[in-house]
Structure 1
Amino acid sequence: MRAVEVTVDHFSYGSITPVLGYLMAVLGAALGLRCAARALPGGSDGGRRPGWLALGALSLGSGIFTMHFIAMMGFTTGGVHIAYDLGRAFASLAIAIVVVAMGLLLVAATRRTAPAVLGGGLITGLGVAAMHYVGMSGLVMAAEVRYEPLYVAASVVIAVVAAVLALWCAVAVRGLKAAVGASALLGIAVSGMHYTGMAAMSVHAHTVSALETRAPIETLMPILIVPLLLMLLTGLFVGLDPMASRTEERAPQRI
């Protein structure tokens, strides 16, 4: 029997999931930029820089991951039950954190040159795209998922551009207003990458029920608890950092 394409809805809760996902991406970006500023040379004493680098990667990676899975709460397929493989979900979180750390480390180790920002952005962007598609491979349902190559390519380009922008902001942005603006822009880029990637997919099934189904919130919430706790931990470190005011007063770096 031939598989038929089933109806897919990415906004079954209306604007709630895209808006909440965007806000989580902005929060992760804001905390990550604060940590990245301290991880770069001159941002803090040398002994603390690796810790800030790790926290920056945790926050940025967790923000991207959280945005993805909050958005997936609104994902439904007509008549096909959805579940998630937790192992692949957390593997995608690990990918996001590791590649962000690689990008930040490359920029910090090469004195923040333009080639380093571009190279680090390329590595990080490809990793962020990998996070998205590894996370999507964790979908468990009695159906086949297919992807439109053009949209997949567009989502990867958006991820790379967003990563380059994030690393540039980590180097150049100073001050609260500038950081808020950069974080808002990064949130748009991350959300754009996610929904472009989702537009690339179609679901094909042999049998469907009469009801629209979604992965229950109780399935997704355990996946989200870990990255939310990581961002909370990062927020506590940033808020309690006695060097915060001194870091914010430093002049922007040129690349």
Structure 2
Amino acid sequence: MSPYMTDAAAWQESWDRQQEAYLPDREHRFTTMLDAVDAVRDTTAAPRLLDLAGGTGTISLRALRRFPDAEVTLVDLDPALLALATASLGDRATIVTADLNRPDWVDALPHRDYDAVLTATALHWLPADRLTGLYAEVREVLRPGGLLVNADHMPDDTLPELTTRLLARAEARRAARYAAGAVPNWAQWWEHAAQDPELRPLVERRHAIYPTGHSQEWNPPVSWHLGALSEAGFTEVGTLWRGGADAAVVAVR
């Protein structure tokens, strides 16, 4: 058996490469998110962070490199991705299995006073009414002055034609990388995971949780997110970062 099939670090590397095919500026958005955390945290105490829909622990790993003493909670439902997060993070983070489609996901959290809730390219699987509710629930687990950052596919609705062209350009570049065999696509990555003897049963459990895959992807414009966050009661709401058709919105309690 090759080391690739048993090494969590190798799986993390593979996940990063697969994701970067979709998000070439992925690391930039993460750095911007952590810059915002640095701006609001109490420098005399360890920051308390919630990695929402954290998957393999991408944000948690980078947060712990930036803030080695951070107290990190990671929440997700996918058993295969959670296994990789657990293997990579060990006792440096609290791993929570919870379904963000249910309002009671907050009951599984160890804290209600996070300095920041961070999430990236994950919440577009939630329908509008559920995401609206989730934003309000996130506000309640933040301390006063704490912040939420959500980086995702959020087009600028004032630039419809340019956004269409940017998306077409990105698709062409991604197709070229796939054709060259430079990176696996989403389906290929999961096919590979299903071949790993340790991940195979977890991938099967994943299929049972999502028998037809995730719900239909929903990518409203950034203005929708800003409106929903304002309605949820955050005191400051705005766009923290933008790259092409993607953006990171920030909301301060």
Which of the pair is proportionally richer in helix?
Answer: 1
TM-score class normalised by the smaller sequence? under 0.3
- Which one scores higher on RCO, CA 8 angstroms, separation ≥ 6? 1
So what's the TM-score if we normalise by structure 2? 0.26
- TM-score (structure 1 length as normaliser): 0.26
Report which of the two has the higher share of strand: 2
Larger radius of gyration: 1
